[in-house]
Amino acid sequence: AQTLKSLGKHYKFRTSYPWQKLSQKIQDVILYGSGSEIIEMIYSDDRKEYRVEKPFEGVIGNIERRWRETDSNMIREELGKYQSASECEVCEGYRLKKEALVVRVNDHHIGQITDFSIAESYAWFKDLPGRLNDKENDIASRVLKEITERLGFLNNVGLNYLNLSRKSGSLSGGESQRIRLASQIGSGLTGVLYVLDEPSIGLHQRDNDRLMETLFNLRDMGNTVLVVEHDEDAIRGADHIIDMGPGAGEHGGEVVAEGRLQDILDNEDSLTGQYLSGVKSIAVPASRRKGHMAGKKRKEIVIQGATGNNLNDVTTAIPLGTMTGITGVSGSGKSTLTIDTLYRGVARKLNNNRNIPAPHKAISGLEFIDKVVDIDQSPIGRTPRSNPATYTGAFTPIRDWFAGLPEAKARGYKPGRFSFNVKGGRCEACQGDGLIKIEMHFLPDVYVQCDVCMGKRYNRETLEIKFKGKSISDILDMTVEEAAAFFAAVP
């Protein structure tokens, strides 16, 4: 605000003016800076006034500088709200210089080919030998064989919908894992132990069948494939099954059953076997909710004319007050419709979110809802220090409870004393992390347990306050089930 007042004094405008009434010159200065022109900036606090003469860098310049200088993901996420990506006018988004794009095969340059989906590029390369002469085929045969084999591997693990130019950072965990799987198949290695963590997650049944075939091919090449899975087809198709349990957390940690499928089915202690045999099952609801009604008409959000990515002018309705499932094979447009179009469009209107939605004509029915929340798999909390207790708000009443204990009151401790994020009660040697980072220069940083608090995050005085013999650090080490039982008698 003080910077704007200084600009207003220099350029003779009031900060109360509406933006659209400012001259183009003033708007450009505010956005892009004053260039080499020196501005007298006047800042003041309760005690003193400061005067600084310097050029004004502009709002956009300030955002770009802070983006370049920061290493904080949180700050970059905040600054990203004021930025949007646009296609480069020189290379038209292909990321290659003009000389590289001049070279063409079958009237296509490399940028156009990498914009194909894996399925499209596989078909293009399979068809290419028929469009080349004998000499060109002699030159290209070995390269084309390698290309079509690797594209075939990607196709077979259910990634046929991905563009070859897709940025790796935009891939889901399952997609990244299946790309690694395809590269391993292409390597032709044998005698290797492969470990996969839920490779079928997020896959449609059609694509899951193809994934299983790929895993069997990897096994048949002379390798050992170890898969952590919940998928029924993967369990039934395994040569050997190890069933862990019987429960979760402290109730698990044992091998309940081991052997072939029939061994698991015959084991009465195996919860997995009981579901596979049909002894237990997930009941199908006897009735379905009709949803919220406005008189005789159902309340719904209607997406009209969605054309993002592969969507073909889609118009559909989401009934309110119901659970609606959006399904389809991988790459059919589910995420484009729900996240890129619906969520971003609604968030932009109701939450003032700056993310630009995928192209669509309109989204109606927003008068029936207050806001939209995207529950994704990104890390919880605004900082790396967040944990389930702080994120859900459960830690606040726990800190209040410890601050209300007689010993804490006698020492004058407030709830803030039991926070590991602020000075006072936390261990200052590790600043409440419980770990010390050791920089290894040319090697990745190493984290070791703090030798002052021994990983407990708090200083000695804070840890002396106990409830039922447990300190605040002991509470954080509990599971949710243990903590619920521990505080069960607390009103």
Domain 388-486, CATH class in plain words: mainly alpha
Measured CA to CA, the distance from residue 260 to residue 275 in angstroms comes to 16
Please report the pLDDT score of residue 441 as a whole number: 72
pLDDT band at 330 (very low <50, low <70, confident <90, very high): confident
Task: Work out the number of other CB atoms within 10 angstroms of the CB of residue 473.
Answer: 19
pLDDT recorded at residue 363: 96
Most confident segment among 25-29, 435-439, 461-465:
461-465
| Mean pLDDT lowest among 82-91, 130-139, 233-242, 475-484 | 82-91
**Closest residue by Cα to residue 364 from 301, 441, 408:** 301
Direct distance between the N- and C-terminal alpha carbons of the chain, in angstroms, rounded to an integer = 47
Distance of alpha carbon 234 from alpha carbon 251, whole angstroms: 25
pLDDT at 377: 78
- Beta-carbon neighbour count of residue 462 at 10 Å? 25
Beta-bridge mates of residue 258:
242
Q: Is pLDDT of 464 > 90?
A: yes
Q: Mean pLDDT score of the chain, rounded to an integer?
A: 90
* 383 pLDDT more than 70: no
In the chain, what percentage of residues exceed pLDDT 90?
55
The closest alpha carbon to 370, from 342, 347, 340, belongs to 347
pLDDT over threshold 80, residue 44: yes
Question: What backbone phi and psi angles, to 5 degrees, belong to 254?
Answer: -125, 155
Question: In the chain, what percentage of residues exceed pLDDT 70?
Answer: 99
What's the pLDDT score for residue 438?
86
HEC string of the chain equals CHHHHHHHHHHCCCCCCCHHHCCHHHHHHHHHCCCCCCEEEEEECCCCEEEEEECCCCHHHHHHHHHHHCCCHHHHHHHHCCCCCCCCCCCCCCCCCHHHHHCCECCECHHHHHCCEHHHHHHHHHHHHHHCCHHHHHHHHHHHHHHHHHHHHHHHCCCCCCECCCCHHHCCHHHHHHHHHHHHHHHCCCCCEEEEECCCCCCCHHHHHHHHHHHHHHHHCCCEEEEECCCHHHHHHCCCEEEEECCCHHHCCEEEEEECHHHHHHCCCCHHHHHHHCCCCCCCCCCCCCCCEECCEECEEEEEEECCCCCCCEEEEEECCCCCCCCCCCCCCHHHHHHHHHHHHHHHHHCCCCCCCCCCCEEECHHHCCCCCCCCCCCCCCCCCCCHHHHHCCHHHHHHHHHCCHHHHHHCCCHHHHCCCCCCCECCCCCCCCEEEEEECCEEEEEEECCCCCCCCECHHHHCCCECCECHHHHHCCCHHHHHHHCCCCC
Q: Are strands 362-364 and 241-245 parallel, antiparallel or unpaired?
A: unpaired
Q: Is the pLDDT reported for residue 177 higher than 90?
A: no
Q: 302: pLDDT confidence band, cut at 50, 70 and 90?
A: very high
Q: How far apart are CA 121 and CA 101, in angstroms?
A: 18
- Domains of the chain: which residue ranges? 2-80, 293-368, 388-486
Whether the predicted pLDDT of 79 surpasses 90: no
Give CA 89 to chain center in angstroms: 30
pLDDT of 460 above 80: yes
Pairing of strands 293-294, 443-449: unpaired
Question: Would you mind telling me the total number of residues written for the chain in this entry?
Answer: 491
pLDDT single digits (tens) 233-284: 999 999 999 999 998 888 899 999 999 999 999 999 999 999 999 999 988 8
Q: How confident is the model at residue 347 (pLDDT cuts 50, 70, 90)?
A: very high
Predicted local distance difference test score (pLDDT) of residue 253: 92
The pLDDT value recorded for residue 384 is: 65
Residue 384: exposure state from Cβ atoms within 10 A (0-12, 13-18, ≥19): exposed
Of residues 85 and 113, the one with the higher pLDDT is 113
**Is pLDDT of 445 > 70?**
yes
The predicted model gives 220-231 an average pLDDT of 94
User: pLDDT digit string (tens) for 48-76?
Assistant: 888 888 899 999 998 989 888 887 777 88
- Domain 2-80, what architecture? Orthogonal Bundle (1.10)
The candidate with the shortest Cα–Cα distance to 412, out of 469, 470, 465, is 465
pLDDT band at 320 (very low <50, low <70, confident <90, very high): very high
pTM of the model: 0.71
Q: What is the pLDDT of residue 134?
A: 92
Task: Report pLDDT for 382.
Answer: 64
